[in-house]
Structure 1
């Protein structure tokens, strides 16, 4: 019997049978990888299918498996590992040149036909069955008891827009510059809620509108790396991320009434290619339904407000109208975007706010008129560092609205 320390700091004892299966699965995963790397997220899912629910993706568990392999003499030496990687790469290149493209085209054609059939018979029925099974295992939070906080009637009462952007729940990041997983996601969202409450008290806020700007989930179909750098299946990501959003809303609503709306981002699309994706085919559609149902049937101060478009929403707070987008379909650095959106939707927007680029930016494009991007909860990952060469700190943002002015604030995490 061996043990390791899990993400929560608890000691987990695993059986010899567990170790046998874990090593076998690891070796099989390495065989399918040209670089001989193990996808530990996939490893965890496969272990569950084998009936072992005490595996993990953290460093302690990975080191345990390696240590047992080394003791059993099944861990390749450094020299042999390099040879295996080289052989695998050469073999993969030969196979890819001769076979990959034809196989890929066949799979794409089959995928298109299957999607057409599913939509023709009963759109989303298969996916919704998965969602239903995932929801069965959840015990959603009960409404929070009301706090004694009340906005001071002798001072100006303000309203607050709280933006929730680029949560990327389900992402697994383990690089020197950043760590992120589902547990860290929960901790960061709770930290954000506490900072929002601090601002509610400081600014004498009487109500909050939480606006989800998209990329709620990491997804597993966006890019090839998402198949490996994700801890959960697509349906699990949607349900579990929504549970955390409800906890976030309930925490804030224990102080003030809360309204909630959400639009979709590129990672929320059920197909990674925005050109082939239908407008309503996104995870936010399912997540919103869960929040809407929860708000309707629970004794809560959370009110769900349906967004005006799948990818665009706007609200009027006091005398100001704010527009919200994700940012992948519009360039928030284009100085004419605010004017273009105002003209398109027949509203005088004082600000258009998005996310997507994981950076805080604020561009003044008129008299007290701005184009803003808020940062992400996830932070940087291998893609942002190695592929696009971009680094930024974790952050979110709020808008505090008074009678004659508003303030856009970055909230660091």
Structure 2
């Protein structure tokens, strides 16, 4: 638009545009309504009263007076508005996702609790139909305490090679020998209190394709069998020792999915074992199923006045586990017990004994193929007020 005097009609300005500009910018141009009426007459020869122009502006304030303000904001801040719209949409979807995940979490917890309740209910029914034999033990002649390590039973797998033969029948034979030797060594040392550490991988599970091929039973059947066997073993111990405590952690073979990257620690078939044992042995007064105070995958036990840790070992290195768990838990143990590595190993790190338990299943095809041959065995540790005084390697 070519600019002349602001009170005059511009060369390319229509009469309506001129009238709108005068009435909307009256104060800015320093005009009165009479001045506008006179200017309009000078340009058009048409006489309009002062009131005409005053009323004219009142009819258009919401359309014209406010519209330039909105347009100006859009013209000057388009990115800000667009960004706010995008951010709003993002927030809306985030809230929706959070609500969906929260509902899923509640649903999973409900299923988890329901599953636990149904398992306990079923086991109690079995306990009524087939109660475990238990008799009150004799008073111990000593006051020592012992830890028996259960790990890497891998029930369900079948192996038949030059180094080892293992199947469900052999499993039961080895467990029977383990129980017999534990009681024998316990009586020999005058053990009053026996601590049983379940360090995980009691079942073969679904970890590797080769393992699934070798499994003679599905994972649910595996868990049912080992849970019943564990209950029978602990009932037998409770008939021989004045006090028995059972502890349990998860392994890696008992997770619910084969892919470790998709696995969630809290989703494990291993959790069924302590539930089962608790329900199955609830009538035995000197048997206690312990809960893990610090972490579901870390046992912290008081053995003859000394702190002893237990963990499966799939998340730890033997050379670092003593330091890492001590720093994590802010506790100083005299020993850390582990499974997972399938061989006999013990070493002291700055006053802390790291004790690796062998496997009960022995060398399978997977271990043979990676050249890791080991003897089937489990361990029993004897403690007194001075600390750990000996280790029994129970060959099976």
User: What is the TM-score of this pair, normalised by structure 1?
Assistant: 0.64
Q: Is the 8 A contact 1:141 1:247 kept in 2?
A: no
Q: Is the 8 A contact 1:140 1:243 kept in 2?
A: no
CA distance in 1, matches of 2:156, 2:115: 18
**Which of residues 377, 382, 389 in structure 1 aligns to 2:365?**
382
Q: CA deviation at 1:170?
A: 1.1
CA distance in 2, matches of 1:157, 1:198: 16
**Residues 169 and 129 of structure 1: is their aligned pair in 2 closer, same or farther, counting only changes over 3 Å?**
farther
Rg (Cα) greater in structure: 2
- Equivalences for residues 67-106 of structure 1 within 5 A: none
Q: Is the 8 A contact 1:131 1:239 kept in 2?
A: no
Q: Is the 8 A contact 1:264 1:311 kept in 2?
A: yes
Q: CA deviation at 1:312?
A: 1.0
Q: Counterpart in 1 of 2:266? A: 280
Is 1:394 aligned to 2:394, yes or no? Answer: no
CA distance in 2, matches of 1:172, 1:356: 18
CA distance in 1, matches of 2:116, 2:171: 25
Q: CA deviation at 1:226?
A: 2.6
How many correspondences in the alignment? 288
Q: Counterpart in 2 of 1:150? A: 139
Q: CA deviation at 1:176?
A: 2.9
CA distance in 2, matches of 1:143, 1:299: 9
Q: Counterpart in 2 of 1:213? A: 199
Q: CA deviation at 1:218?
A: 0.5
- Equivalences for residues 169-208 of structure 1 within 5 A: 169-208=155-194
Q: CA deviation at 1:177?
A: 2.1
Is 1:350 aligned to 2:334, yes or no? Answer: yes
Q: Counterpart in 1 of 2:217? A: 232
Unaligned runs of 5+ in 1: 1-115
CA distance in 2, matches of 1:285, 1:162: 20
Is 1:366 aligned to 2:350, yes or no? Answer: yes
Root-mean-square deviation (Å): 2.6
Moved over 3 A (4+): 116-141
Q: Is the 8 A contact 2:343 2:359 kept in 1?
A: yes
Q: CA deviation at 1:196?
A: 0.4
**Residues 283 and 140 of structure 1: is their aligned pair in 2 closer, same or farther, counting only changes over 3 Å?**
farther
CA distance in 2, matches of 1:229, 1:137: 30
Q: CA deviation at 1:279?
A: 2.0
Q: CA deviation at 1:299?
A: 3.6
Q: Counterpart in 2 of 1:311? A: 297
